[in-house]
Amino acid sequence: MLTPEEIEHIARLARLALTPEERARFAQQLSVVLDHAAALMEIDVEGIPPTATVLPVHSVMRADDTPMPGLTREEALRNAPQTDGEFFIVPATFGDEA
């Protein structure tokens, strides 16, 4: 069972504000999910190298370094929470690097 502190930490990493009821409910639900996944821990993986993918491809690269135009600025800023037509404007976040 996840502790209230762990739930709070996870919620903060995801930038979620939880009510005390939600905290209790998600602690319950998330613990079940983790327990389920924990079944993997029982498998003997001795001698099996770790993998980073399950796809049978590797080393796919773009050999052509020529740049191509992307979005126009108008398009890029269309979903901005706030903008002055040049920048994305967000609440000041100085020193709040998580």
Partner 1 sequence: MEYEVVIGLETHIELDTASKMFCRCSAQFFGAEPNTHVCPVCLGMPGALPVINKRAVEYAMMVGLALNCKIARYTFWERKSYWYPDLPKGYQISQYQYPLCYDGWIEVDVRDVTSGWQEHAERRRIRIRRAHLEEDTGKLTHAGNYSFVDYNRSGVPLLEIVTEPDIRSADEAYAYLSALQQIVRYLGVSSGDMEKGAMRCEPNLSLRPKGSDTFGVKVEIKNLNSLRAVRDAIAYEIERQTRILRAGGQIQQVTLGWDEARRMTVVQREKESAHDYRYFPEPDLPPLHISEEWLEAVRARIPELALARQDRYRREYGLSAYDAVQLTAERAIADWFEEALRTSSAPHSLPARAKAVANWIQTELFRLMRVHNVPLDNVWHIKVKPAQLMQLIELVEQGTINLNTAKQVFEEVFQTGEDPRAIVEAKGLAQISDVPTLRRVVEEVVSAHPQQVQQVLNGQEKVFGFLMGQVMKATRGKANAQLVNQLLREAIEASRT
| CB 12, min distance to partner 1, A | 8
> 19 vs 93, which CB is nearer to partner 1?
93
Helix (H, G, I), strand (E, B) or coil at 74: helix
Q: Smaller CB distance to partner 1: residue 40 or 98?
A: 98
For residue 52 the two structure tokens come to 């980073």
Task: For residues 24 and 54, give the distance between their C-alpha atoms in angstroms, rounded to a whole number.
Answer: 35
Minimum gap (Å) between residue 10 Cβ and partner 1: 9
- Contact residues for partner 1, defined by CB under 8 A: 9, 13, 15, 52-53, 55, 57-63, 65-68, 70-73, 76-77, 82, 84, 86-98
Q: 84 vs 12, 81, 91, CA distance in Å?
A: 29, 11, 14
17/21 with CB nearer partner 1:
17
Least distance between partner 1 and beta carbon 85 (Å): 10
Which of 22, 38, 98 lies closest to 4 in space, CA to CA?
22
